[in-house]
Each structure stands twice: as structure tokens, then as C-alpha cells.
Structure 1
């Protein structure tokens, strides 16, 4: 865990551009040159917005399309300092890398692989001069390590815009070793290579994991501290991630492996469920595969097979300390769902198992959210008798649990890193006028410190947390020695995601505590589901499992404030369903 952020954030602005030129770079790649006033600084609906900036070679903008052609109905709401993704059933979004950015000409180039049948490829094939396109972003730019000895750039055709831009602009002065898989020799492009660079083109079908892995393994990695960047179909990258990270031992901060697209696999006929008819609902899925996968992760079974592909069952049982008959209980279901598969040469990871080597993928089964999901076994008793499912399942509130568990609290702090994209609206608010001292609490405190630093505001900082949370936050804060790590008087107190793991009574106790320290308090909390999230419908249930209360909206927060001697002064919409509620003492 490093305090230095690996990215630079940018203001999120919805922009309209039009097609200026269309160029077929290859028979499989179309470049659409876009331009317009909104690439510069502009005003819309009374709000001033900065000029477009995408300094990173692999920055992404989010294109907004519509399944029914009504793009205006699919657009998000623009906030003064962010975006609110309001619900829109017709909205389609796709991420694309700017191939060229020319502020002087007011132009940005986007390259589209045109052989696919997705909505963005279809739009590019039909694009004509004058057509409009709306997009948001980029939200951040990657910070490359200083002075790497070499850099590996690998991917399929979709990675070519980022690879080409890197070679054109050279954000770091290091030899580049380029590997690109293409489905046709016609997809090859001229690249701006320098002395010391290497390039290899490999013919392979899109999403061919074996071909991509073999090609990456064939690249001789030079001595010294390098940096590896790869982009392709998400599952095709899994063995590449395992090879570079596990076998080559490259540290996480020297790896950036990103799934640019996801291939939908057609289910075998025998596995395809009958489609519901007559308005019938789809069957409720069984939790058994999830529980078995969770057990395999917790036992270390997935990692053990990843470290020794082809391992025999008896060797595996000896390594895990679990008798073979007990492991045998799991293996049929693990095989059925592609986690661990067996054969004449022993046990190997299946496609789903390869995915679980990614830390983000395994969080669904082994992290804080998984523990919260398990507490829903107590949902019915909690609904009948009150209290949170978490407290009924564990015997303690979630707050009491996380403040005593460094690993769990660290997970909350990592989740709050997403606040980096939302806090511009808070730091720009007039409430900071005259603020000399700011007190922080909650797992989002590190994100608030970074946002204040980025905004140029330099109040004296103090963080009021118990010993375990304070230790977790120290690992994420730049220059922790400048912070007073005790509670005390302040001009403003910011509670950043501090209520999300507290019951109403615990939240009230925190607000009462803050009232003794500051005349103004700010609550940064998710108050509504994020309209862009595929799990928006579950947001209220997750909140209830954690605290015994649904997702606290503005009226609920106002009621808590009134209960503890505060009143709501104003509310700052930050985007993605998150708000900053500014309280004053009554």
C-alpha cells in the first residue's frame, strides 16, 4: 500500500463533438477525427467547464450511445463538478482511448476496430462528417514509474491506439518492446519505433488466450526494473497476468493489465436453460457454486493450483492440509463452473479460476462484500425483529467489527479511493472560506486529504480515529507526519463514508462527537444507487445488511442531523449517487 496515487484525476465533463474526418487506417481500423467547441473551455446551462485533457497514453473516454437511437435521453446529468448517471434503460456506454489529442486544432482522434458487431463499431462504420457524438472523461490518467529500464506493450488490435500513442509521445524514455496479436496481416500499422525498440506481430483470432500468452512468454524480458502494460480481451489476459506477476515476479505497481473488451461465450446446448415464456421470471440462481468457490479461495486451493499447474490430488491435499475425500467434495462443482479442472496431467485452473487470480475478481468471494453477503442469512430475523443482519450473524455491529480488524478496515479505505473522482465539488464549495483547521474521520479520509492537496487548499489536518483505523489510513496518506492524529477543535469536520458502516445509533453518536469539535460538519455518503452500476438494485439491501437501515438518502441524513443538534445547510451533489451534506450546529 503506497500513499502516492498511481493516477491523476480530471474533472468529469459531458462533451458534444462532431465528426470532422473519417480515415481508414487499415481495412480493420477506422479513425474518426472529432472536433468542436466543447473540446475547449466552454459554458453550458450556466456552468463553466475546463478544456478537454487526456495526457495519458491509455486514457479512456466513455462514449454514450443509445439502443433506440435517442441519445439525448441516454445522457447523464452534468453537475458543476461531476456527472450523475441517472437511470436510462436505452443507454449504452463504451470506453475508447484517444489516439491523438490536438488542443490547437480542437481535435481528438478515436480509432475503432470495425470488424466487431458492437454499438461503437457500428457507429464508426456509419460515421459521416457532421455526425454528433457525446462522451465523458477521461476521469484519470495513469502515472508511469519514473525512469523504467524498459517497457513491455502487449495486446490485441484494440490496444493499438494506446500503443501507437505511447510510441508517438514517449511519456518515458525507455526501450519499448511491442507485441500485438492481429487476426489478419492487414491489421498491421506503421509504428514510431526508435533504436532499441522491438516489435512482433502475431496472427491469432481475437480473444485467443493461448496465442497471446505464448507470444508474451516469447518476449525476452531485459534486465533491470521494467514496466508491463497489456490490453486485450479480458479473459485472454488472465494467463498473461499470472505469468508476469507470479512467474516473473513483477510487482503490482509495475503492471497494468486491463481488459478492453469481453467476449460473450455461447453456452453449450445442454447447459442452456429454457427461456421463460408467458411472462415467467427467470429461475433464482443457486448459491452453491458461490459458496464452493469461496471455500476454494479460503483454503488456498485456487492459488495452489495456479502455482503448480498439473498438480496431483495427493500433492494438493498435502499442501493444503485437507484430506483427499474432503477436497473431492469440492472438485466436481469447481470443474462444472470452470474454476479447477482435472485431466490426465493433473489439476489446472479453468477460465473462471484464472479470473480469480485478479484481486478485484476474488473480492466478490473473499472480501468485505462477501462477508456482508453471508450475513443476509439473517435477513428475515432482522426484518422481523430489527437490527442489522450483520449484527445478528456476528454478534457485533459492523462498526465494532471493522475498527478492530485492520485488514477489513483497509478494504474500506481502498473502496473509498473511488472518491478521488468525485470530491472536486466538495473542495470547490464556498464552505472552505476561512477554514484553517479540518478534522477528518471515516475510511474516506485519505481520499479527502488527497483532494484537498490537489485543490491547493492547505488547512491544518487532524484525523480522529481509533488505533486500528488510524494505522490503516496512515498507509494511504502522503506525508502522514504533517497530520495531527488526535481529535480536537476544528473549523470544519468531514466524515467521509463514516456512516456507511454505522447503525443509526452509532451514526448519531458520531455526529454528537463532531458537534463538540466543529461548528460545521460535512457528511460524504452514497445517498442513492449509481445509475451506471449493474448492481444498483442491490444497493439498499447491502446498506441494510451493514447497518439495519436502507441506503440513507437526504431526508434520512437530515433526520439524523436534527436528532443530534445539527441542521442541513446545503447539499453538494458529487455524482455517482454520492452527496456531501453540509451541516451547521443548530
Structure 2
């Protein structure tokens, strides 16, 4: 069945607003009403920007603050169709959900939980009329499925703005079952409930996973088609996700669970065993815990304990098909790193620890078992790869990464999923004048599904064809709506778009691809990352990961131009897309 998009994208615009008024909704929640001409359509530095739009009940805008107070120095660069997060040492960003958007009054309402210590809470606590605030977004809005009979709205105090907005605006006609945990009874609010709705208030400490899970288990089991939306402290939601997925059997497209904040854990003193398992002799982090967790996931240990909590080590060994001594080797280390609990003679048996709960999330386990994990393992060949000027992947596997993913549907599928974020950056490409006379577009690369979605959002309707081998084409079919409208054979086109097609190719393979495209079109567009994402905590690793994959660091404009020239192209211009990505427009020489 073809994939259906779950989000509507919006242009990314940097906006300035000022405080119009402030009032406390409850003793624990402050509402700041903001306004300004940049909520309407406006022009700045010759760039026209659309009016602010946040139609979704749980949309997020990114507030921009500064640790040193100099917010102007922390602002990102506004592109004609996107945002570039330039380096800024003191930049702080926080995501917040609009409680209300009043288009007629030109106002945006934001609710802030008080008594916190974060920069946004501190700003709200001292906010006065006339104070300025800068923000970006939202980048997208959630699309709820049609035909729902009921919805769970689950959260803590930080989720109240989204829950309140849902109940005010009712984006779908479904019975709402609301559950909110609050740290003080005074945090309760009047909410716009209808006949048939239910609401449960639970007083518990912030981030109390036990209280939240117990309350979720007590929710009704309504008949018909349902959906669960939840937002709270990230770790507190882990058992909620497990329960709704594994016991209530809600499919993934009927769940939206988001960690709105992260509780800072006090650092416990390390035992000698834990310290030895986590570092090398010189204090450098050891790969041992990573390898042990990877083995536990590959063997099915985490899933087995999740599905049958209370197993004995012997029963676990039988369940996953590993001899008892093998399980005995892994369990102490898994316990030391919070993956499992109940190892040392605990009569309640084995159960997941906090880290184990996190590993039930597909995105979390990809770090240990997915494509990125395999790439990390290839780095054991980093030294000879650097000496030989080749990719660590080729030395580790005997073949190129491109050859590997082209014949492995699961790996190619991971690349396609990684490219899903690309759709938020493609406004600059779809707005470009090159599309004016395009009747047919040829697509290649794992980002092709995102390009198709972006073209749809922009109202561009060229005939589409795909230039991919059998396995990648089959994967892409499952990620695009209405695959029957696409010609799945390569051929002549007015323009070709290679979306992240070079990121898993060596320079030689990239040249070969561009040579192939030259046989079908006179205009090509390469969508690639030329620099790290400025907001990513792993920005410093980007060049190394790229080198491990292809034998080339992140390819800058000069490198792209050299590859294109070898294939008979010249660079006409480059379109900055933001977040380090660029679209390079090529013409045949």
C-alpha cells in the first residue's frame, strides 16, 4: 500500500514579534500574547515572505534566545526560501506550541509553564509589554487520519497548550479522552470538553513515568477507529509508547508520541565495574557498551524482556536461543548500563531499564543496528582508508556503499527515511524559475519521494519518471502517494533531479551517474548537503561520516563542479536550501 503523508509543510521564515500583554492562566502557566507586522506577509531585504501559518494543534515554533543576552548575534540567516543556521556560540533554541493564532488581531498566544529554570521560562517570567521575541517555524503541521471515532490526548503540563487548542478548534469530529499529569492541583485548567469526552487529572511529580503509565492503562478502550497523541517528558513516555504499541496494538500511523522536554538526571557515582565497562584506561569512552547493546538488539533480548517482563535469565536464554553462559556474559553489562533490571537474584525477574525502554523506539535502535551502525563499524578501517584515499566502507565490506544499498531494500529504505526531512528544505528549489517550462521530471536518489512531495506542495505537476535500479525503485514505491502516476522507467526528461543520490556514491560513481543523466536531459539538479547542519549536535562528525561512506568529505561547491565537469556538465548556479543543503543546477556543456 502506498505511503500517505502525515504532515503539511510550511515555508521557514524568521519572524520578530513583541509582547502585547501577559497574564497568568493558572499559578503555574503564563500566557504571553505576541504581535507584530511580521506575523502578516512582509518583505525584508528584498525577499517576500508569506503570512504566519500554524494550522495544526501541536505545531511547533522555534524560539531563539541567547545565553549572553545578544539575541541579534544568535539569529540564523534568512534565505529566500529557508533558514541557514550559521554558527553562534551563545544561541539557545526552544520549541513551543502556539496556544492560539488570532489572524484577525495579528496575534500569537504562547503558554509557558512557570517554576522552571530553562531560558524560555525565564524569559516568560520577566516578559513585559514591548519586549521582543524572535522565532522560526512551524516547519510542518500534523495531518490526522480521516474517519477517527476517538482520540487520546495525553500529556503533562507542557502539553496543555496543544491539548487546549485541539479542544478549542476540534480539527476532527471525534470523542476526546484527555489525560493530563500536573505537579500541583492548581495547574488544572478549564478545557472545552464536549458531551462524551472524558478528562483525567493526575497529580504527580514532573516526569513521573510510573504515574503516567498507570493513568494511561486506566484510559477507556473505546470502540471504533482511534488515535493516540501524547507529549510529556521524554523518558516518562517510554512505557506509554510500549503499552500503546505492544498491548493496545495501535499501529504506528495511529500514534504520535513526542518528548517535549528532558529531565536532567543527577549523575550517580560510578562503581568500578560500570566505570571499567564505559571507558578505556585513559578515560576515553569505550565502544564496549555500544557493542553489547547492539548484540542485545540483534539477539532479540530487548524485545523479549519487553514482551514478557519477569523472565528469568534461563527463560530468556531459551526464548532467544542463546545458551545460558552467553546470556550470563551479557546481562551484567546490560544491567550496568540501564538496559535491563532484575539481574542479581531479583525475585521479580528481568525487566527493561530506562535505556532499554528507549530502545523500543525504532529511531533509537537504528543507532545500534541500522545503516548508521554499519557505517560506524566500518570506521575500524579508518586509518588504512585515510592512507589509501578510499572509503572505510569499501575496505570493511569489499564493495562500495552504493553497490551495497542498491541490492539491499532495508538499507535503501533507511536512506529514504533519512531523506524525509528534506521536504522541509525544498521550497527554494520548487519556487525556482527552472520549472516554468518543465513537462517531464526524471528523479533519482533516496530523496526522490521528498522531491515529489515538495512538488505537490508547490502545485508543480510535471510528468514524473524514476531512474533507479529494481530494489531502490521498489522501496520508493512504498514511500510515495499514488505510485501509479509515475513512470518507473528512465528516459528523456526536461529536467533531472538527483536527490541525495551522491551521498552514498564515490566520486567515480557520482561521475558515472551524471554521465547517465546527460543521455536523458540537458538540465540536472543535484540536491546535497555541502556543510553540516548548524543545529546538529553531531555537526563535527559529518565530514568523517561522509568520508567513511564514499572516500570523500562533504562535497562543497568546488568538488561538485569538478565532478560535473568530468561528466560533461557545467554549474549554472547554486540555490541555498538551508540546514547546510544546496541545490546545484547543471547544464550540459
Establish whether TM, by shorter chain, passes 0.5.
Answer: yes
Matched, 1:520 2:548: no
Contact conserved, 1:437 with 1:491, CA < 8 A, in 2? Answer: yes
How far has the Cα of 1:19 moved from its partner?
0.3
The aligned counterpart of 2:278 is none
Structure-2 separation of matches of 1:271 and 1:262: 25
User: Partner of 1:295 in structure 2?
Assistant: 295
Match of 2:397 among 394, 398, 405: 394
In structure 1, distance between residues paired with 2:462 and 2:156: 47
Do 1:99 and 1:162's aligned partners in 2 also have CA atoms closer than 8 Å? yes
Tell me whether 1:66 sits opposite 2:69 in the alignment: no
- Do the aligned partners of 2:2 and 2:482 also contact (CA within 8 Å) in 1? no
Following superposition, the deviation at residue 283 of structure 1 comes to 3.6
How much is the aligned-residue C-alpha RMSD, in angstroms?
Answer: 1.2
Farther-moved stretch of structure 1 (452-461 vs 10-19): 452-461
1:455 shift after superposition: 1.0
CA contact (8 A) 1:86 1:530 kept: no
Q: Distance in 2 between matches of 1:291 and 1:2?
A: 36
Which residue in 1 is equivalent to 2:439? 436
The equivalent residue for 2:336 is: 336
Give 1:193-204 correspondences, 5 Å limit: 193-204=193-204
User: Could you report, residue by residue, the CA deviation over 1:4-53 in whole angstroms, capped at 9, with x for unpaired residues?
Assistant: 10010000000000000001001110000000000000011110000000
Partner secondary structure for residue 350 of structure 2: strand
Aligned twin of 1:131:
131
Helix, strand or coil: the match of 1:316? helix
Structure 1: gaps spanning 5 or more residues: 274-281
Asked if the contact 2:2/2:483 (under 8 Å) is kept, the reply is no
Distance 1:355 1:25 in 2: 34
Contact 1:233/1:259 (CA < 8 Å) preserved in 2? yes
| Displacement of 1:565 | 1.1
| Contact 2:31–2:109 (Cα < 8 Å) also in 1 | yes
1:406 equivalent in alignment to 2:429: no
Counterparts of 1:526-565 in structure 2, within 5 Å, are 526-565=529-568
Deviation at 1:99, TM superposition (A): 0.2
Deviating 4+ runs (over 2 angstroms): 269-273
2:364 corresponding residue in structure 1: 361
Q: CA deviation at 1:83?
A: 0.5
Cross-structure match for 1:14? 14
Q: Which residue of structure 1 lines up, in the alignment, with residue 153 of structure 2?
A: 153
Matches within 5 A, 1:92-491: 92-270=92-270, 283-342=283-342, 343-491=346-494
1:56 pairs with 2:56: yes
Cα distance in 1, alignment partners of residues 33 and 242 from structure 2: 37
1:573 aligns with one of 557, 573, 576: 576
Return 5+ residue gaps in structure 2 as ranges. Answer: 274-281
Q: CA deviation at 1:147?
A: 2.2
- CA distance in 2 between counterparts of 1:130 and 1:86 reads 27
SS in 1 for 2:15: strand
Secondary structure, in 3 states, of the residue corresponding to 2:178? Answer: strand
After TM superposition, give the deviation of residue 284 of structure 1 in Å. Answer: 2.1
C-alpha distance in structure 2 between counterparts of 1:42 and 1:140, whole Å: 20
- Matches of 1:92 and 1:147 in 2, distance apart? 40
- Counterpart Cα distance in 2 of 1:210 and 1:570: 56
Given that 1:566 and 1:583 are in contact with CA atoms closer than 8 Å, whether structure 2 keeps it comes out as yes
Q: How far apart, CA to CA, are the structure 2 residues paired with 1:502 and 1:317?
A: 41
1:511 matched residue in structure 2: 514
**C-alpha contact 2:2 2:477 (8 A) present in aligned 1:** no
The Cα shift of 1:272 comes to 11
**What SS does structure 2 have at the residue aligned with 1:410?**
helix
Alignment of 1:42-53 (within 5 A): 42-53=42-53
Counterpart CA distance in 2 for 1:100 and 1:540 is 42
Shift of 1:271: 6.1
Q: Residue 109 of structure 1: CA displacement? A: 0.4
CA contact (8 A) 2:151 2:228 kept: yes
Look up the match of 1:88: 88
Question: Which residue of structure 1 aligns with residue 279 of structure 2?
Answer: none
Q: Contact 2:2–2:478 at 8 Å: present in 1 too?
A: yes
Matches of 1:461 and 1:230, distance apart in 2? 38
2: CA distance between counterparts of 1:113 and 1:255?
25
Q: Which moved more, 1:455-464 or 1:28-37?
A: 455-464
Q: Distance in 2 between matches of 1:54 and 1:31?
A: 18
Tell me the distance in 2 between the aligned counterparts of 1:270 and 1:462.
57
Aligned twin of 1:279: none
